[in-house]
Homo-oligomer: A and B are copies of this chain.
Amino acid sequence: MPELILDTQKCLHNIEKMAQKARHNNLSFRPHCKTHQSAGIGNWFRDFGISKITVSSFPMAGYFARAGWKDILVAFPFDPAQLKILNGLSEKVRISILIDSPDILPFLDRIDARVSFYIDVDSGYERTGVRTEEITTLERIIEDSKKNKNLSFSGFYCHAGHSYKTSDPSEREVIHVKARTDLGLLKEQFRVYKPLALYGDTPNCSTQKDFSGIDEITPGNFVFYDLTQHSLGACKKEDIAVAMVCPVLSKYPGQNRLLIHGGAVHFSKESLAVNGTRIFGQLVNPDNKGWSAFPHEQYINSISQEHGILKDCGTWMDGIRPGDKLGFLPVHSCLTANLMREYKTTDGQIISTLNSCLKKSN
């Protein structure tokens, strides 16, 4: 069966580097846990002085609260159905939520402990958020929220996810400069509330140098990185901290093709364009210290539920036998980790996630 191998040293190095970058730029650091989804890996952040986190759902908030985190931002527009869970959690830990419309406020009338909120603002990504120029809407949210004594406005949150749409550093800088300028202007406009500006996507947090206008960063993927981040120039391939180890099941020398056990239920269906074709992972050499670069560029070229197919394999395939293990860097480590539900570190330790207690009871 495929196994997701975690290189602890690379992961710790990624955490340390981002923590240092935050410190050097006088930024607070609230890492997003949606990539690793693991209390064990969350603990590694504490050693770098991290005391607050970001999550993407209320079940994830509950999991990390049980793991001892006391300051958790649920960075996802609030779902009224989660009110009961919010109330349960906010009695015990500091929970912050995202709001991007005045329509949600009536649903928060029944919160019975203190909850702080950030307004999700849209600087051009066009996924969620109030557009940064819609000052009237922002004012209305803040004004309306004052009717609720348990609700306190803490600032603005901006995810400039359109940074993923370009690998051109100057194009990405335009996105970043607009986002931090927008946040700076909002802080100025609403200075009476002393709002914080939260920001953070891995490509920008990894590559940008000027974070003026921003108070706190919330990137997540950097903990592992992946081929997508590499393609965007956000990391080196050597920084990628997870690799899937898959058994070879069969080879088809006449067609230069190799079959691995490793499919969409392991890697996800996320793909990346490399030299004009879609790929689903890149071959590396697993060894007992983790893995090293493979001498040739070889990719997973197609994927179905359990199957992965490597095409145009060279003569390196000659020595491969069924049962041999090959390693693959994932295209999107968040989705891969979510599917695999646990990590095996290079020294053989199993690290569980939010979902893996599930796996073990089976």
Residues of A within 8 A of B (CB): 1, 34, 56-59, 63, 76-81, 100-101, 103-104, 107, 126-128, 131, 134, 161, 247, 249-251, 254-255, 257, 259, 261, 264-265, 268-270, 302, 304-307, 309, 321-323, 334-335, 338-339, 341, 354-362
Question: What residue of chain B has the Cβ atom nearest to residue A253's Cβ?
Answer: B101
Chain A binding surface SS class: mixed
Identical copies in the complex: 2
Question: What residue of chain B has the Cβ atom nearest to residue A270's Cβ?
Answer: B269
The answer to whether B57 touches A1 (Cβ under 8 A) is yes
The answer to whether A77 touches B259 (Cβ under 8 A) is yes
- A269-B335 CB under 8 A given contacts A1-B81, A161-B304, A362-B358: yes
Chain B min CB distance to A308 (Å): 10
The answer to whether B335 touches A247 (Cβ under 8 A) is no
The answer to whether A81 touches B323 (Cβ under 8 A) is yes
Tell me which of A58, A78, A107, A305 has the highest count of chain B C-beta atoms within 10 A of its own C-beta: A305
Q: For the complex of A and B, list the 8 residue pairs with the smallest distance between their C-beta atoms, beginning with the closest.
A: A358-B358, A80-B323, A361-B361, A77-B249, A269-B269, A77-B250, A56-B306, A358-B359
Question: What residue of chain B has the Cβ atom nearest to residue A120's Cβ?
Answer: B250
Chain B min CB distance to A151 (Å): 15
Question: What residue of chain B has the Cβ atom nearest to residue A75's Cβ?
Answer: B306
Chain B min CB distance to A144 (Å): 14
Please measure, in the bound complex, the distance between the C-alpha atom of A265 and the C-alpha atom of B334, giving whole angstroms.
Answer: 9
Please measure, in the bound complex, the distance between the C-alpha atom of A59 and the C-alpha atom of B259, giving whole angstroms.
Answer: 19
